[in-house]
A and B are shown apart, each in its own frame.
Chain A
Amino acid sequence: EAGVTQSPTHLIKTRGQQATLRCSPISGHTSVYWYQQALGLGLQFLLWYDEGEERNRGNFPPRFSGRQFPNYSSELNVNALELEDSALYLCATTPSGGANTGELFFGEGSRLTVL
């Protein structure tokens, strides 16, 4: 069974540009979470989508946005990129309803570098 897949693996952008990252969940999973893993900051929660709706968002500015498609895959968009947006962006998925037992299934991440 395929795990959580993320694309692209690496992305290099310059300040002010936009980045789009994609995530495909495990078959049967409907909840998608996005986390930012910046150097020295651990994992910071960005967004949670469940059944196509945004359910919760972390303490990030509005230029971080996303959506979830009918097939439960998800996109994370970062507008007006800043140098400090350079990080590993991790997607995690669970069956519907949130991480009730805590097992988030993570992808390998998309490494965004902003120059």
Chain B
Amino acid sequence: GEDVEQSLFLSVREGDSSVINCTYTDSSSTYLYWYKQEPGAGLQLLTYIFSNMDMKQDQRLTVLLNKKDKHLSLRIADTQTGDSAIYFCADDPYGGSQGNLIFGKGTKLSVKP
């Protein structure tokens, strides 16, 4: 079945850039997403990219999509301690028709001052 893989941990220093990587298996994905989960909270959508795009930039966030390699990345520029959270990559292989997204296990980002 469809699968989404991402590394579990990333540690960076405040002010550095963070890059979180994700790979997915489904070739018919319509959208790919990045969600953020802060401690004790639910998930919140950070950004998403349509499958016919290579890149999307939104303030400090840059999403890169390599459809050939089925690789998605999230770059956070000038990482702050408030960015410490778990970041989930998610895939929409059914184009919304089955209602569920496929989530990776999440990458825990730790930002050291």
Q: Which A positions have Cβ atoms within 8 angstroms of B? A: 4, 31, 33, 35, 40-43, 45, 48, 50, 55-56, 58, 90, 92, 97-104, 106-109
Contacts and interface: CB of A to CB of B under 8 A. Distances in A.
A50 B97 CA distance: 12
Interface residues of B, number: 25
Interface string B20-60: 00000000000101010000111111001000000000000
Task: List 9 A-B pairs, minimum CB-CB distance, nearest first.
Answer: A106-B42, A42-B105, A48-B99, A100-B96, A45-B100, A43-B103, A98-B99, A106-B43, A98-B96
B98 A102 contact: no
B101 interface: yes
A92 B48 CA distance: 17
Contact of B42 (A4, A31, A101, A102): A4
Contacts of B48: 101-103
Contacts of B43: 43, 90, 92, 104, 106
- Chain B's interface: helix, strand, loop or mixed, by majority? loop
Given A42-B88, A42-B103, A108 B41 contact: yes
Given A42-B88, A42-B106, A99 B42 contact: no
A34 B100 CA distance: 9
5 contacts: A42-B103, A43-B43, A100-B96, A101-B96, A107-B42
Nearest to B97: A98
Interface of B: 31, 33, 35, 40-45, 48, 88, 90, 92, 95-106
Which of B88, B103, B104, B106 is packed against the most chain A CB atoms within 10 Å?
A: B103
Contacts of A43: 43, 88, 103
A102 B105 CA distance: 18
B38 to A, nearest CB: 10
Contacts of B44: 106
Given A31-B99, A48-B98, A41 B105 contact: yes
Contacts of B106: 42
Contacts of B104: 42
Contacts of A58: 100
Given A106-B44, A108-B42, A101 B31 contact: yes
